[in-house]
A and B are shown apart, each in its own frame.
Chain A
Amino acid sequence: MINPLVTLTTDFGTRDYYAAAVRGSILQECPNAVIVDITHELEPFDLRGGSFILWQAVKCFPRETIHVVVVFPETGVERVLAIRAGGCYLVGPDNGILTMAAEALGIEEVRCVESRAHVTNGAKTFDGRFLIAPAAGRLASGSRLEELGPEVADFKRINLFRAVVGSDSVRGEVLHIDRFGNIVTSVSVEDLPSDWGGDLTLEVKRSLWKIKRATCYAEGSPGELILVGGSVGLVEISLNRANASSLLSLKVGDEITINRPQSP
């Protein structure tokens, strides 16, 4: 028999007991669950970052995986959703964080988790432990989605993939900066016309940079900015073995524009 697979995405960090409490609650409901951390190091309350990481990760997991997300700017106020999408489940707050991943998988059914059977002291400060984890654990141990609560049609959504494609330029924004300083943009690989040639210009904060199209990070010469189609189909701004985000002083949400080369 295959053990049920549960993933965790939170802003809890790894120094407190919070992530362990969520794991413990899941294992209480489903002792043979296999739990994989996506990350616990989201910036506190970072719904955009959480949406993005979850959207990237879910595609790599098999059907029937249960993805648990706890990023709760307003714990105790926001509803908790359980979504069936593309043969997987997502359980987390109704603040938009689940929807990009759910839509990528293909939303089938959305329910609002009602059961508060596990609340022991009435505290509403830790819905991850008292509401989300038990619901995920019950799904893992074989409960059906409809047992968790009523179906809902209206829920919050987040969409990060904004790009404006013009005839001479493509405008987008910084979605994420990874550990290596690669700048992941909201521009998809298909947004960037393939007939624009290899040498383009990048406009950030009113300064212009030369940038070269490449197929992998190692193609850049030292100090040379490159545009790479990243592992999730989005355009990344990178430097070979160096940190592009420090060079350009970019942060998440900043606007970037890629310009087609001027004809001579």
Chain B
Amino acid sequence: MRRPLITLLSDFGTRDYYVSAMKGVILSVLPEAEIVDITHHITPFSILEGAFVLWQAVKWFPQGTVHVAVVDPGVGSGRDPIVIKAGGHYLVGPDNGLLVPAAERLGLEEVRRIENEEFTLERTGTFDGRDVFAPAAAHIARGVPLHKVGARKDDFIRLELFRYETSPEHIAGHILHIDRFGNVVLDVPSSVLPSDWPRSLIVEVERGERFKARVSSHYEEGSPGELLVIGGSSGLLELSVNRGSAAEAIGVLPGQGIKIWPSAAEKSSEI
């Protein structure tokens, strides 16, 4: 029989005791739990980045997995702790939008407030990860039915990751994430890139500077320093530089806007 699987995602870093506190609490409730770290290196307080990484990761886990996510600047204030059932998975964390894109990807079924103190520790007000989310997740992984955890909540906070716009002339998107390799992940599905556009494109960053780029199928394809537009492993467009950092090459940060359109030079050469 498979051990109950619990994943953790947070902005806690790995230098403090916070992550281990959550693991200790989970294993106190459910000693046979198998705990997998998604990451603890989300930029502090960045709900958007946390929501995106969670959205990327959840689909690789089996049904029945309980995902605990904590990027929670509002801890201790009025915001509710929630659990979402989605596609046979459970997501546990704060009601600040963090869990919602992942839940919608899995197929959101129901949202409940975590209320029953039987399944939480005494709250200190500054660390719900340890006091509320970890114990509630362990009890849910142990098989406690959701209706015992708390009442349904339909007015939860939503968060939209994909806010790109397209026109026949251009694609306007945003930078969701910059990975360890400096690949710049956009909020634009790869399928949005028109197949009849030329391989040479222009990429414009938020401050107005423009760069030449080329559509490519993999990272290795570019000559050194060449900016590539690639359909990445998450099904989203990425800007990349072969064995270099695209984020450094074009000087961008998460949250900024990016515009892409066909290179006129290429068009004229085709005529």
Q: Which residues of A contact B (CB under 8 A)?
A: 2-3, 5, 7, 14, 34, 36-42, 53, 56-57, 60-62, 65, 176, 178-180, 215-219, 228-231, 236, 240-241
- In-complex Cβ contact of B125 among A40, A56, A216 (8 A): A216
Nearest B residue to A38, CB-CB: B20
Residues of B within 8 A of A61 (CB): 24, 27-28
Min CB distance A225 to B, Å, is: 16
Residues of B within 8 A of A217 (CB): 73, 75-76, 126
Q: How far is the CB of A92 from chain B (nearest CB, A)?
A: 16
Q: Which residues of A contact B127 (CB under 8 A)?
A: 230-231
CB within 8 Å of A: which of B57-71? none
Q: Are B77 and A216 in contact (CB under 8 A)?
A: yes
Complex CA gap A236/B126 in Å reads 10
Residue of A with least CB distance to B29:
A62
One of B8-16, B97-105, B160-168, B186-194 at the interface:
B8-16
A3 to B31, CA, bound (A): 7
Given contacts A5-B31, A218-B75, contact A62 B20 (CB under 8 A): no
**Most interface-central of A5, A14, A39, A231 (chain B CB within 10 A):** A231
In this assembly, does B89 line the interface, its C-beta being within 8 Å of a C-beta of chain A?
no
User: B74 contacts A62, CB within 8 Å?
Assistant: no
Q: Is B15 a contact of A240 with CB atoms below 8 Å?
A: no
With A39-B15, A229-B124 given, name 14 new contacts (CB 8 A).
Answer: A34-B27, A36-B27, A41-B14, A56-B17, A57-B24, A178-B15, A180-B45, A215-B76, A218-B74, A218-B76, A219-B76, A219-B77, A229-B125, A231-B127
Question: Quick one: given A216-B77, A217-B126, are A36 and B24 in contact (CB under 8 Å)?
Answer: yes
B126 touching A231 by the CB < 8 A rule?
yes
Given contacts A53-B16, A57-B20, A217-B73, contact A230 B31 (CB under 8 A): no
Whether A179 and B15, one on each chain, are in contact in the complex, defined by CB atoms closer than 8 angstroms, is yes
Within 8 A of A (CB), among B154-181: none
**Are A60 and B20 closer than 8 Å at their CB atoms?**
yes
B27 cross-chain contacts in A, Cβ below 8 A = 5, 34, 36, 61-62
Number of A-B residue pairs having CB atoms within 8 Å of each other in the complex: 102
Task: Give the shortest distance, in Å, between B220 (CB) and chain A (any CB).
Answer: 26
What is the size category of the interface that chain B forms with chain A?
20 to 34
| A56 pairs with B76, CB closer than 8 A | no
Report chain A residues within 8 Å CB of B19. 37
With A36-B27, A37-B14, A217-B126 given, is the CB distance from A241 to B20 under 8 Å? Answer: no
Residues of A within 8 A of B18 (CB): 178
Contact A57 B17, CB 8 Å, known A36-B27, A218-B74, A218-B77: yes
Which residues in B have their C-beta under 8 angstroms from that of A236? Answer: 126
Q: Kindly state whether residue B214 has any CB partner on chain A within 8 Å.
A: no
Whether B237 sits at the interface, judged by CB under 8 Å, is no
Q: Are A178 and B20 in contact (CB under 8 A)?
A: no
Closest 7 CB pairs of A and B: A216-B76, A60-B24, A231-B127, A61-B24, A179-B13, A218-B77, A38-B20
Assembly CA distance A57 to B125 (angstroms): 18
CB distance from A199 to the nearest CB of B (A): 20
| CA–CA, A94 and B31, complex, Å | 30
Given A60-B130, A231-B127, check contact A178 B16 (CB 8 Å): yes
Chain A residues within 8 Å of B130, by CB: 60, 231
A60–B121 Cα distance when bound, in Å, is 11
Q: Which of B22, B31, B45, B131 contacts A62 (CB 8 A)?
A: B31
Q: Complex formed: what's the CA distance from A57 to B13 in Å?
A: 15
Q: Residues of A contacting B25 with CB < 8 Å?
A: 60
How near does chain B come to A38, taking the closest CB pair, in angstroms?
4
B206: A residues at CB distance < 8 A: none
Q: Which residues of B contact A176 (CB under 8 A)?
A: 16
Q: Could you show 6 A-B contacts with beta carbons less than 8 Å apart?
A: A60-B17, A60-B24, A60-B28, A60-B130, A219-B76, A230-B127
